[in-house]
Structure formats: structure tokens, C-alpha cells
């Protein structure tokens, strides 16, 4: 098995084009365009907590970067570069090589570079830090929602949670449905282009990682407003739509791992929101409205209250 430095040299060292200095020195050096702010975010993936040991290493590499890019997307930032801090039980190239392939494939898709990191022995743990840039003052924040704004979500919600339930054995899915929802769980597509297109259009944004109830709750608290959401207006796959209603509601509202964008925009910006979705190639759906109340009320298409008995996800709860 290779040593630490061989492993880095073989799998995590590529020449950089955008960065001034990449892997190999004590620091990486990044070029930031004048007039832009640096947008920075970290997300850690721990085996057994964030992913199952059954996941293919290439998909794990994809997902580790995807969840980080999703945070840049939520801020409307353009990705620049990322760092990888990796704890590995063994210097197992049968794991590391496809992991790096999946990671670089998504990085190449977004034109970003791995510029450094840290590698240590230990229980499998993957921590990525992404760097992006956004015109000064134009980042989309959680705190910008205003009374009267409409609530939107991108893509479809709930499939990743449906996949988790299938893995747990609480639902049985036909093979093609299982493959499709498993892809949603293991290969999320960060909505980077949509986030950038929403700059100057959306008033607030967040990426859906812990489920809509909790994540929209963060936006409402940071913005000091309330909202209602129509659960029947939430976009879902045909697979999820075929499930019993209570399971649909749980996957849509408390699912987690969606990595879609949830955002608010004034009603007058409807056409601009649709144009942003079209430009980014992502469907966007209007599903609620910000009001002067406190907290979130979930209703159905007839305006009747829908019960939401789930606790928002908390690692220490
Ligand atoms: P230091 O002793 O300064 O912590 P290291 O010996 O840990 O440096 O790392 C050597 C070089 O390799 C550094 O440039 C570091 O950023 C890079 N590096 C270490 N691990 C990784 C990794 N998993 N992915 C990318 N670069 C890495
Ligand atoms: Mg080090």
C-alpha cells in the first residue's frame, strides 16, 4: 500500500490553472477577482451518519463535493477551488482511486480545482472546504425574505429519503424505482447555475440538506417572518407520488439530502424566477408565501392544515 505522500501525489495532485498555487506547498494560493467577495463553506461526511458503507466510492467522491457546492449555490456564488481533508482506515487504492475519479468528474463539470487538504489515518471521514466568489454585497442570504414574497423550490424533493427508507427496508420499490431514487441520494446535482441566475432576483435562499421544515425554518427565523407552504404544490418524482400520503409528506417535508434550492422572491419577479430556472435548466416550483406570522404553517391544496409531527434533524438530539 502507498504511503501518505504517494497517495496524495497519485490521486489528489493535478496541475492548477485558475489557482496561483495548488497541492504541494504549505498553503494554496487563490486568485480572487477584484470587487468580489470570497464565499467559503465546509461540510463533513462521516460513514454511518452521512453515507452507508454500501455506497460506491466514485459516488461518495461526487457527493462529498456536491454537498459543498450546494452551499455555494445557495449563496449564488461561482465556485473557484476546494480543499479535501480525508481520514482513511487504510491507504486502500481500490477505494481512493474511484473516490478521486468521482470527485474530479464533478469538479471538472464546475471548472474547479482541488488545491490542497490533509490526509490522515482514522475512521473514514471526508471534509471538504469550498471557495467561491460572488460580487460584493450580492450573495443570497437566509435573512432576506420579506412579507409577501413567494416561496419556491427547485427540482423534486423527497427521493433521497425514499431511497433511505428502501435501504432500511421500510418500503419495497421496484428495481427501476430503487435505482432512480438511489441516484438521487448518492449523486445529487448541486444547483450552482440556478443560484447564480437568482442573484438580484431571489430575496433569500438556502439549500435543502436537512428537510424543508427545518431549512425553511432557518430562513424564517433569520428573516424574522412566517410563511405557509402547500404540501400538494411540492414537486415530487412519479416514484414518490406512488407512495402512501403520510410517507410522501415525510419525505417531502422532513426528508433531507435533497440538495435543491429553496428561495423567496417577490410576486412581481415570477417571470424572472422562471427565466432563471430555464437558463439553468432546472424546473422551479412556487409552493407558498411569506407572511407576517411566526413560523411555518403547512397546508394542503384546499388550504387545510397538514400535521408535521417530525423533529428537524439535529446530530446531538
Ligand atoms: P502540512 O505538513 O503542511 O500539513 P501535508 O504534508 O499535510 O502538509 O500536505 C502536503 C501537501 O499535500 C499540502 O499542499 C496539502 O495541502 C496537500 N494535501 C494533503 N492531503 C491532501 C488531500 N487529501 N487532497 C489534496 N491535497 C492534499
Ligand atoms: Mg497536513
- Summarize pLDDT for 114-137 with one digit per residue, the tens: 999 999 999 999 999 999 999 999
- What pLDDT is recorded for position 49? 87
- Give 3-state DSSP helix, strand, coil % of the chain, rounded to 5: 35, 25, 35
- Which of helix, strand or coil describes residue 47? strand
Burial class for 294, CB neighbours closer than 10 Å (0-12, 13-18, 19+): exposed
80 vs 113: CA distance, rounded Å: 7
Average of pLDDT values for 187-192? 98
Q: How confident is the model at residue 83 (pLDDT cuts 50, 70, 90)?
A: very high
Q: Is the model's pLDDT at 310 over the cut of 90? A: no
Ligand 1 atom closest to the Cα of residue 25 is 14
Which residues, other chains included, contact 94 with Cβ-Cβ below 8 Å and sequence gap of 6+? none
pLDDT at 225: 98
- Which of 68, 112, 116 gets mutated to test ligand 1 (max ligand atoms within 8 A of its CB)? 116
Q: Which of 4, 23, 114 to mutate to test the pocket of ligand 1 (most atoms within 8 A of CB)?
A: 23
Residue 228 phi/psi, 5-degree rounding, is -115, 150
> CA-CA distances (angstroms) from residue 22 to 15, 30, 80, 106, 107?
7, 8, 12, 18, 14
Distance CA 101, CA 94 (A): 12
The ligand placed nearest to the CA atom of residue 5 is 1
Residues 37-48, mean pLDDT to the nearest whole number = 96
Roughly what angle, to the nearest 10 degrees, separates helices 245-254 and 159-168?
120
Q: Which residues are in the CB-under-5-Å shell of ion ligand 2?
A: 118
> Residue 153: what pLDDT?
98
pLDDT digits (tens, 9 = 90+) for 214-254: 999 999 999 999 999 999 999 999 999 999 999 999 999 99
pLDDT higher than 80, residue 33: yes
118 Cβ below 6 A of ligand 1: yes
- Report pTM: 0.96
Q: For residue 116, which ligand has an atom nearest its CA?
A: 1
Residue nearest to atom 16 of ligand 1 (CA): 116
Amino acid at each position: 500500500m502507498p504511503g501518505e505522500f504517494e497517495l496524495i501525489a497519485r490521486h489528489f495532485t493535478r496541475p492548477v490553472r485558475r489557482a496561483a498555487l495548488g497541492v504541494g506547498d504549505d498553503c494554496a494560493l487563490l486568485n480572487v477577482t477584484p470587487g468580489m467577495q470570497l464565499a467559503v463553506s465546509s461540510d463533513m461526511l462521516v460513514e454511518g451518519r452521512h453515507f452507508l458503507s454500501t455506497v460506491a466510492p466514485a459516488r461518495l467522491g461526487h457527493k462529498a463535493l456536491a454537498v459543498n457546492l450546494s452551499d455555494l449555490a445557495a449563496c449564488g456564488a461561482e465556485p473557484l477551488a476546494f480543499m479535501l481533508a480525508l481520514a482513511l482506515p487504510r491507504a486502500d487504492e481500490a477505494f481512493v482511486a474511484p473516490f478521486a475519479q468521482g470527485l474530479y468528474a464533478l469538479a471538472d463539470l464546475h471548472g474547479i480545482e482541488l488545491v490542497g487538504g490533509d490526509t490522515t489515518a482514522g475512521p473514514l471521514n471526508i471534509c471538504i472546504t469550498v471557495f467561491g466568489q460572488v460580487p460584493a454585497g450580492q450573495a443570497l442570504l437566509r435573512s432576506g425574505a420579506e412579507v409577501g414574497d413567494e416561496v419556491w423550490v427547485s427540482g423534486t424533493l423527497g427521493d433521497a429519503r425514499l431511497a433511505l427508507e428502501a435501504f432500511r427496508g421500510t418500503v419495497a420499490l421496484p428495481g427501476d424505482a430503487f435505482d432512480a431514487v438511489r441516484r438521487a441520494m448518492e449523486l445529487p446535482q448541486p444547483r450552482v447555475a440556478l443560484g447564480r441566475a437568482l442573484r438580484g432576483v431571489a430575496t433569500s435562499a438556502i439549500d435543502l440538506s436537512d428537510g424543508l421544515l427545518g431549512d425553511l425554518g432557518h430562513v424564517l427565523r433569520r428573516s424574522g417572518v412566517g410563511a405557509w407552504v402547500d404540501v400538494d404544490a411540492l414537486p415530487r418524482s412519479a416514484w414518490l407520488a406512488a407512495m402512501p400520503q403520510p410517507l410522501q409528506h415525510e419525505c417531502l417535508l422532513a426528508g433531507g439530502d435533497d440538495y435543491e434550492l429553496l428561495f423567496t422572491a417577490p410576486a412581481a419577479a415570477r417571470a424572472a424566477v422562471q427565466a432563471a430556472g430555464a437558463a439553468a435548466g432546472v424546473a422551479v416550483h412556487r409552493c407558498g408565501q411569506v407572511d407576517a406570522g411566526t413560523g411555518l404553517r403547512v397546508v394542503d391544496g384546499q388550504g387545510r392544515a397538514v400535521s408535521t409531527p417530525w423533529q428537524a434533524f439535529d446530530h446531538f438530539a
